Amino acid sequence: MNIRGLLFDKDGTLVDVDRTWGPAAWEVMTDLADGDRARLEALIACSHYIEEERRFRMSSPLLAGAPDDYADDWAAALGRPPDDGFRRELSQRLGEAGLRHLTPLGALPELFAGLQDSGLPIGLATNHGAAGARRQLRALGIEAHFGFVAGSDSGFGRKPGPGMVQAFAAAAGLPVGEIALIGDSFHDLHAARAAGAIAIAVPSGLIPRAALAAEADLVIGSLAELPSLLAAAGGPGRSLAER
């Protein structure tokens, strides 16, 4: 098992979902409902949101889905047409609120500075939009380390499909089997499997470690363990089985 390229998920892997998107979504829902309790409750219901705790249930379409997966339901809850104008407004509002509440998982600038020193290509694969993802990477202080960023609007499809993984492998000039996709969800692990890449799970999102382990090639406790994993593999070109 050679690891010569690193492709990261964003939400739940780099970004704390509850502390970022919980309050961000509440801000956007209350703004859009504009004092109408019935509309707010409809948004809460279709988003699988726990109002009292300001967070999502694991079943929420906002956690792993692309905006198109929930925009129509939000439009219906608000009594608005589900057109491109509404989708753009929703994406903009969520993106701006997400930046205001952005909370990283760990010391990311230090982590990625070390990973870049290893010489491994680094990429991002998210089901959110690519431009918004770049803004968040910039706010986190790690954008410069990412030579590849793919979102649901980048033309490679969405996770759990293999397109983003395959596109990153092509951009890095590596066989897809030498790419490790690091993520916290089944969408991430299934995307890696579908592409023939290495699936590394990190239980920093909402899915328990045991459930992720059943789908992953490897499980690490947090991203802080990734440099040790790569060092144990001996760097690019050496198999983990040769430790």
Question: Quick one: CA dihedral 82, 91, 203, 13, positive or negative?
Answer: positive
pLDDT of residue 202: 96
pLDDT tens-digit map of 35-57 = 999 999 999 999 999 999 999 99
d(CA 129, CA 234): 35
Task: List the domain boundaries for the chain.
Answer: 5-16+104-242, 17-100
d(CA 119, CA 5): 9
pLDDT tens-digit map of 18-30 = 999 999 999 999 9
Residue with tokens 């439009």: 75
**The whole model's pTM is what?**
0.91
CATH class name, domain 5-16+104-242: alpha beta
pLDDT tens-digit map of 89-145 = 999 999 999 999 999 999 999 999 999 888 899 999 999 899 999 999 999 999 999
8 A C-beta contact, residue 180 and residue 189: no
d(CA 16, CA 230): 24
